[in-house]
Structure 1
Amino acid sequence: MATNGKAKANETPVTVNVKGIDVAVDKEVMNDIEVVELLGEMQDGNIFAFPKLCKRVFGDQYPKVKNALANKAGVTTATSMTGFFNELMAKMNEGEAKN
């Protein structure tokens, strides 16, 4: 997964729309060992791995997502980010992602 916002030649980014927010994600994101490690940390109960996971999956788009999910007070809750992340993964699994 490119973290600088530019896809590498071997990556296949797709666009997924969740809650009105378009995010380009590498189709092979779940094959990224760092993503797998972060998912493992979360499975082991380390909730603090979640922001790192989001940053790894979203790359340079993380601030855009975070800002779009912010409430009226300008705070992005863990609940809203978790919901967004889960919906994104579900849509990618359902094949709703578009090249």
Structure 2
Amino acid sequence: MNWKRNIRDHKRRFLVTKYELRRKLYKAFCKDLDLPSDIRDKLHYKLSKLPRNSSFTRVKNRCISTSLPCSISISRSFDGHKEIVLVATSKPIEQGLGSWSS
């Protein structure tokens, strides 16, 4: 089942990068009050027709090895799940991390 989560996550990340510029432009034009309202409505409609998985809020930080959702502080530093990082830091390979960093 972990591989299914990885596939879904990679698909979402691909869609985010594919539609990122288009989504930003549509949002910026929708917020621009200098444009006429009918044009803003059309752009808002186009924004709503983009795939939902192309939104950045759908992307979740996941562990590389277990595909489990990660805590924010651990995942940003190591791209790993908390338990995997703690096991790795107990070995002398990873130095500089104390027991309080969990």
Normalising to structure 2: TM-score of the pair?
0.28
User: Higher RCO, 1 or 2 (CA under 8 Å, sep at least 6)?
Assistant: 1
Larger relative strand fraction: 1
Normalising to structure 1: TM-score of the pair?
0.28
Larger relative helix fraction: 2
